[in-house]
Structures are given as structure tokens and as C-alpha cells.
Amino acid sequence: MNTATQVAGVQLGSYVFNAAGPKDVTYEELQVIGQSGSSAITMKSCTIEPREGNEEPRYKDVPLGSINSMGLPNLGYKEYLRILPLLKNKFDKPIVASLAGMKPEDIPVLVDAFNESDIDIIELNLSCPNLKGKPQIAYDFEMTDAILRDVTKNLKKPFGIKLPPYFDPVHWDMATEIFKKYPIDFLCCINSVGNTLIIDPETERPLIKPKGGFGGLGGDFIKPVALANVRAFSERLGEKMAIIGVGGIKSGTDAFEFLLAGADAVQIGTQFMKEGPECFGHIDTELQAILKKKGYKDIKAAKGKLKSL
């Protein structure tokens, strides 16, 4: 039994890999992911210029998940293009570039640069919730449409988009109408739930400093939101594009629920922060045991097989 899968025509040795964001900024951190059970190496969302990100404290774990307002700290896209061949030489697994524009005009520059590289997969981040004064792009359907029209014209790589959570079927329908017009290979659902607030009643303060404590929520808190987004897009677009599930996966059981909802693969964010690189291997081993026990011969056999009541 193995959990090998495919996303955008790219073969992944297992169903589980790292989400853009946690512990994937530096070459050292990316090598740790390379040596782990993660079936791909996703790099931190990168911008044109290097960024320090927001002020500290900007990430906190809590029992049910995490809150962050990192503010896109990254080394700048040119450094990731430099690191890419080093990672490719060292590790036999696909590398995913996550791209994030500080303004819409940045996005074609980033996509063009990685189009010409040896990258395996491009994930365009349309959903960072933590840039002061900048809304999450994918909540603006007109802008999303314009960006996708532009960047999908000359794609040379498997390409997908990282989405924020939507909370209403009307928005899943509207987003679907846009996405289906373009050669998008996968949707990655979901980014953290943006602009939430956790308060410490002892100190009477928020847990993180940027934006008055408002930040992106991850972990257990958001699993039902992520499952609903995976299911909603799988029902609407699952024949046409792959769906990657992210949000609150910390066990094989969680991964199995995403598989039933229609995910082709899952990414791990908060649990990687909390547990370290061992998470990828044990989530995958647990998933294998569940599939075996239930008599599913592989990932394909269980994908999207959520039963009705």
C-alpha cells in the first residue's frame, strides 16, 4: 500500500507534503523538508523584493491551532531561483514555487521568471491575509479574473492557485465561473482564515502584535472550513482540475476526510510548525493503515467517495 498521487500531471510519492508558509523560507529549512517524508518541497511565498515581514510576535500556537501575521517574510524570488537547482540536485521530489505579488503587476513578472526555470509546480498565492492595507486578492473576483487572464496566457509549468476560504455557495459558484475559463491545473484550498483575533484573558492582550492582533487562523479550528471548500470545488471543478486540501490536518484520519471530500493531495501547515518534519511520515503511514483497513487499494479508489446520509 502506498499513497502515491498526481497533481497537475506531476507524480507525488505520497499524499502529504508541506504547505507554503511554515519553516520554508531559507535553504536550510527547505533542506529539512527535502529530508523529511514530505512528498514535495513547497517554498515560502516569494515577492519581487526580499521582505522582513511584520513585527514580532507574529506567530502563536494555541491548543486548537495557530494564529499568524507573518507579513510575507521571504528572500525575494531571485534567491529562490538560485536555491532551486541546489534543491533539485539534492532531492528527488517535486519543488513547488509559491508566488505572491505586492501589487498585481508583480505577478506576471514572477510567473514568467519561474516559467523559464526548472520548477516543477507553480502555486500562485491569491490569498495572503496579512499585508497591511491590502485585501486578499481572491475575494475580489474582478481582479482575480484579470490576473488569471494575464498569467495563464503563456504558462509553461503546471499551475495552480492558493485560495482563501469562501463561506457561501454563491461565492463558490462565482469563483468557479472564473476558474473554469483558464488552464488552471489545481486549486489549493484553503489559506488561513484571515483576520481573526485571539485574546489572552490573563494579559488582556492579543496573542500577536501586527494589525492590532488580527491574523490568519490555522489548525483544528479551520478543518471544517477547509473540508467544505475542498468539497465545494471538487463538486464543481473536480473533473477539470486537481484539488489540494490544507487546513487542520494532523493525522491520517484528517487526511482521509480530505480524500473523501475530493482532495488529490494534502498540505500540512500548523502541524508542521507544532510537531516538526516527522508529521509528514506519520500522517501518511496512518492514512495507509486506514485505506488498507477499509479495503481501498489506492488514493484514486477513495477520492471523492464521500457517502450521502
Q: Chain centroid to CA 213: how far?
A: 23
- Among the residue ranges 26-34, 65-73, 78-86, 257-265, the one whose residues contact ligand RRO (CB under 6 A): 65-73
Listed residue (201, 197, 192) closest to 222, CA to CA: 192
Nearer to ligand RRO, 128 or 261 (CB): 128
Q: Is 22 in the site for ligand RRO (CB under 6 A)?
A: no
Question: What contacts 142, CB < 8 A, 6 or more positions away?
Answer: none
Q: Smallest distance, Å, CB 66 to ligand RRO?
A: 9
Q: Which of 36, 39, 130, 270 binds ligand RRO (CB under 6 A)?
A: 130
Question: In what order do the strands lie in the sheet containing 265-268?
Answer: 16-18, 265-268, 242-246, 186-189, 159-163, 121-125, 95-99, 41-42
Closest CB 4 distance from ligand RRO, rounded Å = 27
Segment 201-230, which members bind ligand RRO (CB under 6 A)? 216
With binding defined as CB under 6 A, does residue 138 bind ligand RRO? Answer: no
Residue in 18, 42, 191, 271 binding ligand RRO, rule: CB under 6 A: 191
Which residues have CB under 8 Å from 100's CB, separation 6+? 45, 46, 47, 72, 110, 124, 125, 128
Only segment of 124-132, 140-148, 151-159, 277-285 that touches ligand RRO (CB under 6 A) = 124-132
Residue 298 DSSP symbol: S
Closest by alpha carbon to 25, among 60, 61, 53? 53
**DSSP SS3 for 219:** coil
Binding status of residue 107 toward ligand RRO by CB under 6 A? no
Active site residue 128: yes
Which of 128, 188, 189, 279 is catalytic? The answer is 128
- Listed ranges 113-121, 123-131, 221-229, 291-299: which one lies at the site for ligand RRO (CB under 6 A): 123-131
Pick 38 or 45: Cβ nearer ligand RRO: 45
Per-residue cell: 75: 528572500
**Residue the block writes with cell 481573526:** 196
What are the catalytic residues?
Answer: 128
What are the residues binding ligand RRO (CB under 6 A)?
A: 21, 45, 68-72, 100, 125, 127-130, 191-192, 216
